[in-house]
Structure 1
Amino acid sequence: MVHNNYAGQVMQKTSELGFGWVKQQIEWKVFEHNQGNYDWGSMQGIIDAANNAGISLLFSVVNAPPWAREGGFEPNVGGPPADPNTFARFLGAMASKYCGTSLKAIEVWNEQNLHYEWGNLPLDPAKYVALLRPSYTEIKKACPSMYVISGALTPAASNGARQSRGGIAAMDDFEYLEKMFQAGLNNYMDGIGAHPSGYNVPPQYTWEQGCEAIQRHGNSGFNGACDSPHHSWSFRSTMEGYRNIAVKYGAGNKRIWPTEFGWAAGGAFDARYGYANDNDFNEQAVWTVEAFQMMKRWGWVGPAILWNLNFRVVADGTEKAQWGIVKNDWSPLPIFHALRDMPK
């Protein structure tokens, strides 16, 4: 995540690591308060900083403005537009403005299999593809070279707890991805977004091995992989599962883009993320390097975006900061040196 005040420093640190991509989440509602009136202000500073550093940008675009949402929407959660074409026009305008700059890829939405990323509405893969379809068309019309990445799903088992707008809490990401393909996904994306989380399971272990792995590597009490075995606890199983589904539906030529992955470490700032108590900073470093090397060996992975660089700087003490790879004064944690020195 880039804040304009730190954009130059973010790009400098990324270059120091030897990486070539930065992801930024873009909230549509910030840049089109009123329909048809675009305010690119803060976006421009990030584009310029990346241009100057030779860094490629992935923008993950979410959160419809109030004028675009359904009647009676819940303002306390982000959600999609009532008319997918309104989103498509915004993405087309953005792609047109920044075609040929550091902006090289657009991720269309984020974790749409999770209730609070989809406005507490019913979770519907076909509805998501209906959002993606015109977005893909408008982006490609404006900038044929722009990569269009499907919104990465959150790794999760299905949770049927009902939400206020009729949706459930979460849909299993493998099930959701299959239904996306059944609705025509392969025709409207250049890469498949993924969020393969690590929790407290090292990257080489499958979900079937997850319980044994967390006992072997030390466990302070977070037992998700033992108490509710599921692929979502395993980086490897999530990635390999997405690949298998893509091949099943004739999309073996499309790469999996991990637009967010990593291991929280150094102690939990939030009790809901107890697995961060299990992972020390050296484990975070070793496991992350191994994950990058695994993806390199697989050969079917696109640019991999590590979550995250600098939340210990911009939001120290929050749950997001648990994944940061620099301290709150920008000094490096062990993972920073390990990533800088690893073969690219």
Structure 2
Amino acid sequence: MVGGLQPARAAERTPAVAAGSPIAGLAFPGITFEHQPAPVAESMLDRTAALGAGWVRFYAAFADMSPTRGSIEWSGLDRLVQAARSRGLKVLLALSTTPEWARPAGTDPDYGPVDKAGRATFRAFAVAVATRYQGRVAAYEIWNEPNLGGSWSPQPDPAAYLSLLSTTFAGIKSVDPAADVLSGGTGPSEPGEKAFEPLPWYRALYAGGLRSMIDGVAVHPWPHGEQVDVGEVPVSFEIRKVMDANGDAAKLIWGTETGVPTAGAYSISESAQAMVVVKLYDRWSAMPHHGPLFYYTLTDTPGSDREHHFGLLRADGSEKPAFGTLQGWLSSNR
């Protein structure tokens, strides 16, 4: 519980039989999905199921859900979890951010808990979430890209992250032993950013005892434009080797974000995107002991920046070639 409030369990709904591919999921951005009008969110989940994906990833953002100490707003997340399950989609929740009341003045929501009190507060939130969705959320990812200063501010710290991961893992497992708990997916750094690159980050985590704190490792295998064998995809294979060398050969490596934009900086054409998507899933399928790969994201949003154009659908809902190409690949590779 958080602030003394017991997290009442949300109403059950019988899920549809899972029909989607266990290797594929869709990742939805930030907190925006939770705030979509119900008909829009449900339409997006319908398209996800029609694609043939078996998973969805969205956020349980502590700062957004608990703007006031002692309360949690559950309605948006309840609606999404229930809607996903009713369509046979498994749910991965990314737990992240720190509310204003739980962090130092002048810091932002991506402030990473670095002291005992901050970790205890985040653990309490995670336990509340896992209690509420016990048996209905399949997996939890602890933070998003904690190796980057833009996601774990003011700067990434392997020891501090491990301390948070350790207590959060134990808390979630105490109320939902069957749920998978993953390390936070790692991303590549931007020039000038305070960051650890993903491979040295995971080497540092394993040296600090990561093996006892996770059920699986998450990475973000972004390609380099049209080149799948450049960028974070081959780095993911190296991280797989680090897992194996540290006694975690039996645990899965999950790709919780990947994708390529079709407008803005470093973008490619829509036809090239369709080819890259297939290459990504072919390459990921060759990974030993791999979990799902989550494509980011379903739908473009208005705007010229590349961040608005990773979708398999255009902003008006029409399909880019990549949607049908991935749909066909998933149908043929169950």
Give the TM-score band, short-chain normalised: 0.7 to 0.9
User: Does residue 256 of structure 1 match 2:253?
Assistant: yes
User: Does residue 26 of structure 1 match 2:15?
Assistant: no
Decide which of 130, 137, 160 is 2:163's aligned counterpart: 130
**Paired position in structure 1 for 2:221:** 196
- In 1, Cα distance between equivalents of 2:50 and 2:258: 20
**Paired position in structure 2 for 1:53:** 87
Kept in 2, the 8 Å contact 1:155–1:196? The answer is no
Query: Aligned letter for 2:204?
Result: K
- In 2, Cα distance between equivalents of 1:299 and 1:18: 22
Q: Structure 1 residues 201, 331: CA separation in 2 closer, same or farther (over 3 Å shift)?
A: closer
Query: By how many angstroms is 1:14 displaced?
Result: 1.1
CA RMSD of aligned residues (A): 1.8
Kept in 2, the 8 Å contact 1:21–1:58? The answer is yes
Query: By how many angstroms is 1:184 displaced?
Result: 1.1
**Paired position in structure 2 for 1:94:** 129
User: Does residue 114 of structure 1 match 2:148?
Assistant: yes
Paired residue total: 294
Cα offsets for 1:291-343 (capped at 9, x unmatched): 11222232421111101112x14x44343222111011111000000011112
> Which is further off, 81-90 or 182-191?
81-90
Decide which of 196, 210, 214 is 1:185's aligned counterpart: 210
User: Does residue 239 of structure 1 match 2:236?
Assistant: yes
Query: By how many angstroms is 1:142 displaced?
Result: 0.9
Decide which of 298, 302, 307 is 1:320's aligned counterpart: 307
Kept in 1, the 8 Å contact 2:256–2:293? The answer is yes
Query: Aligned letter for 1:275?
Result: Y
Query: By how many angstroms is 1:202 displaced?
Result: 2.1
**Paired position in structure 1 for 2:282:** 293
- In 2, Cα distance between equivalents of 1:91 and 1:59: 10
Query: Aligned letter for 1:252?
Result: A
- Secondary structure at the aligned position of 2:280 is classed as helix
Cα offsets for 1:96-152 (capped at 9, x unmatched): 101122x2111100111111211213x211110100011001111111111101001
Identity of aligned residues (%): 25
Query: By how many angstroms is 1:240 displaced?
Result: 0.8
Query: Aligned letter for 2:123?
Result: A
- In 1, Cα distance between equivalents of 2:134 and 2:122: 18
- In 1, Cα distance between equivalents of 2:198 and 2:284: 20
Query: By how many angstroms is 1:264 displaced?
Result: 1.6
> Which is further off, 2-11 or 187-196?
2-11
| Unaligned residue ranges in structure 1 (runs of 5+) | 162-167, 208-232, 269-273
- In 1, Cα distance between equivalents of 2:287 and 2:64: 38
Kept in 2, the 8 Å contact 1:73–1:119? The answer is no
| Unaligned residue ranges in structure 2 (runs of 5+) | 1-27
Cα offsets for 1:7-40 (capped at 9, x unmatched): 2112111111111101102211122223342221
